[in-house]
Amino acid sequence: MLNKRKINQVLTSLSSEDKEAFLRELIDAVLISRKTGDLEQILECLHGWEATAELNAMPGVKSKVWERFQKLRKSGAIHA
């Protein structure tokens, strides 16, 4: 389970763009959870962004992933 310290680590490792996306997704997850009474959406959101933060903390990983994504998109394998 994520605690305040871990969430702070996630936030400090995200870019400004990623922080905005994280907050939008978290708000959406909270709204869904309020309707359903289930915290699963919030937990999924937090764990997903924790994984993103961990990848961002690894030198060179983000650029390699982005490079591979661009190649797949250029080849037509991804339509984004």
41-64 residue pLDDT tens: 999 999 999 988 888 888 888 889
pTM value surpassing 0.85: no
Q: How far apart are CA 72 and CA 55, in angstroms?
A: 20
**Contact 30/75 with Cβ under 8 angstroms?**
no
What single DSSP character describes residue 77? S
Residue 2: per-residue pLDDT = 66
**Contact 25/17 with Cβ under 8 angstroms?**
no
